[in-house]
């Protein structure tokens, strides 16, 4: 169980308004928690706070009761894998990119165990064919899978994914979400993902955190997805259909 | 700060320290002026054992630091956020690396003089063969850089024999076109 307790954040002390205001929610093991909200609402900032890339001004982040904010960075990298939104791939091979995920576990030389682990993960994520390709020559889908594989190589207990389906086509979107879902269940991970596609989020997530203007607007299971919530959140006029026991959100 | 900012900052600093050098030269005696001018023709013959020991010490310290941090540099290639997520203390690493790199080049330049382009050519050539892995780039570019310097010095000493040329002239002569070639042809990884 990962718990956010009254998290506040702003970039500089003199900034007039907090980017995150009183963020409190918790995410459970074996579940995907989708963070949704309009652009600039503070979703990515929230993930960065959780990943330790930036430090929140106030509030606490607890994993099984243990405070994570003041944690030493390498320790945190054992626990949390963070996949940022934008990727600028260097010229290394896919294999090396995944191997980089082992960094928190290796001091300098790579052990046989690390190599084996990387091979395993490359196999599970289905990127065996491109393992020797250069990262700056990959397609969007291949790159996203590579970066996800690197996050897995960290052997984390918490996965923080910032738009894992960004720039992906329909097939790749489903594929990567299935992969995330499967591994979250199998490895009992806590997965928190920023997802823009509402229907994709509904299909694959277990709980939802709706954020507007840096504040949590609604937070619960599928019951958070109501016409009223979606309309206020995105300032749109939407319609929700129930098909095969699932919800589908459409713009009216 | 992006690459463009870094280059512009370099231009600004270059002009500042150029002005300081000129100021010193303006008030220097004729002999001092000649010495200062000769210092700009980098020459390996200028350093004695005392200087070499100082250079060796600074080199050893910074080289060990660079090697230890090979993985951290690899992580940094993916951007600050990814690196921070992998447990790299980005600000501290960047600060210390820049400090050590500046110290090392300052010490060498102070004793030997200006020998241009080796620091550009060596790592960029090595990068073409090491797939951007900093665990190897650091070691191989040190070796390759030493090799280029040795070769250039050999040429400088023999090309107009018995006249000995300063090695800085050779490296700049050969380095500039070679660097342009690398830039145009092999922008893979540069």
The residue of chain B nearest to residue A88, with distances taken between CA atoms, is B78
| Whether pLDDT at B188 is above 60 | no
- Enclosing domain of residue A208: 2-87+155-251
Q: What is the pLDDT of residues A198-231, one digit of tens each?
A: 999 999 999 999 999 989 988 888 888 888 888 8
Domain CATH number, residue A82: 3.40.50.300
Read off the pLDDT of each residue in A108-126 and give the average, rounded to a whole number. Answer: 91
Read off the pLDDT of each residue in A90-103 and give the average, rounded to a whole number. Answer: 91
| Whether pLDDT at B56 is above 90 | yes
8 Å CB contact between A174 and A152: no
Residue A20 and residue A34: Cα distance in Å, rounded? 17
Q: What is the ipTM of this complex?
A: 0.86
Cβ-nearest to B78 among A81, A88, A134: A88
**Token pair belonging to B97:** 């690396």
Residue B189's pLDDT band (cuts 50, 70, 90): very low
Contact B77 A92 (CB under 8 A): yes
Whole-number pLDDT of residue B177: 87
Q: Does A99 fall in a domain?
A: no
Q: Cβ of B105 under 8 Å from any chain A Cβ?
A: no
Contact B81 A92 (CB under 8 A): no
Q: Does A95 fall in a domain?
A: no
| Whether pLDDT at B186 is above 70 | no
Q: Does A132 fall in a domain?
A: no
Q: Does A237 fall in a domain?
A: yes
Q: Contacts of residue A73 in chain B, CB cutoff 8 Å?
A: 84, 87-89
Q: Cβ of B79 under 8 Å from any chain A Cβ?
A: yes
Q: Does A107 fall in a domain?
A: no
Residue A28 and residue A203: Cα distance in Å, rounded? 18
Q: Cβ of A219 under 8 Å from any chain B Cβ?
A: no
Q: What is the pLDDT of residues B7-33, one digit of tens each?
A: 899 899 999 999 998 899 899 999 989
Q: Does A189 fall in a domain?
A: yes
**How many domains are there within chain A?**
1
Contact A100 B86 (CB under 8 A): yes
Cβ-nearest to A76 among B74, B82, B87: B87
Q: Cβ of B188 under 8 Å from any chain A Cβ?
A: yes
Whole-number pLDDT of residue B71: 92
Residue B190's pLDDT band (cuts 50, 70, 90): very low
* Helix intervals (H) in A61-139: 73-79, 94-99, 112-124
Q: Does A138 fall in a domain?
A: no
Q: How far is CA A165 from CA A111, A198, A244, B4, B124, in A?
A: 32, 12, 24, 31, 34
């Amino acid at each position: 169980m990962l718990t956010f307790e009254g998290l506040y954040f702003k970039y500089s002390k003199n900034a007039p308004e907090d980017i995150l205001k009183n963020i409190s929610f918790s995410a459970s093991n074996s579940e995907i928690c989708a963070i949704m909200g309009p652009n600039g609402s503070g979703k990515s900032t929230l993930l960065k706070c959780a990943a330790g890339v930036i430090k929140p001004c106030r509030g606490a982040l607890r994993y099984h009761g243990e405070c994570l904010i003041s944690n030493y960075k390498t320790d945190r990298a054992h626990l949390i894998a963070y996949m940022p939104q934008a990727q600028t791939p260097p010229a290394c091979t896919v294999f090396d990119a995944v191997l980089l995920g082992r960094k928190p576990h290796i001091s300098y030389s790579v052990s046989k165990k690390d190599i084996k682990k990387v091979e395993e993960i490359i196999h599970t994520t289905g990127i065996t064919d491109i393992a020797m390709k250069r990262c700056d020559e990959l397609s969007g889908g291949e790159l996203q899978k590579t970066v996800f594989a690197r996050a897995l190589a960290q052997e984390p207990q918490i996965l923080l994914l910032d738009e894992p389906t960004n720039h992906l086509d329909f097939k790749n979107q489903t594929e990567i979400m299935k992969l995330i879902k499967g591994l979250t269940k199998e490895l009992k991970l806590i997965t928190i993902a920023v997802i823009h596609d509402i229907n994709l989020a509904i299909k694959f997530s277990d709980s939802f955190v709706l954020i507007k203007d840096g504040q949590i607007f609604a937070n619960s299971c599928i019951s958070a997805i109501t016409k009223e919530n979606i309309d206020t959140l995105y300032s749109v006029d939407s319609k929700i259909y129930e098909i095969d026991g699932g919800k589908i959100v459409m713009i009216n | 700060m992006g690459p463009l900012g870094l280059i512009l900052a370099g231009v600004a600093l270059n002009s500042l320290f150029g002005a300081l050098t000129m100021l010193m030269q303006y008030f220097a005696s004729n002999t001092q002026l000649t010495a200062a001018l000769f210092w700009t023709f980098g020459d390996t013959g200028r350093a004695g054992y005392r200087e070499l020991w100082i250079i060796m010490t600074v080199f050893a310290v910074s080289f060990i630091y660079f090697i230890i941090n090979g993985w951290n540099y690899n992580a940094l290639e993916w951007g600050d956020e990814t690196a921070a997520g992998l447990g790299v203390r980005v600000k501290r690493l960047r600060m210390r690396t820049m400090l050590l790199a500046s110290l090392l080049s300052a010490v060498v330049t102070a004793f030997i003089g200006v020998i241009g382009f080796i620091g550009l050519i060596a790592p960029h050539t090595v990068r073409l063969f090491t797939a951007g892995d900093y665990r190897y780039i650091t070691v191989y570019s040190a070796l390759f850089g030493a090799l280029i310097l040795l070769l250039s010095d050999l040429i400088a000493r023999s090309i107009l024999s018995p006249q000995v040329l300063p090695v800085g002239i050779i490296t700049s002569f050969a380095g500039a076109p070679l660097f342009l070639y690398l830039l145009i042809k092999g922008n893979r990884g540069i």
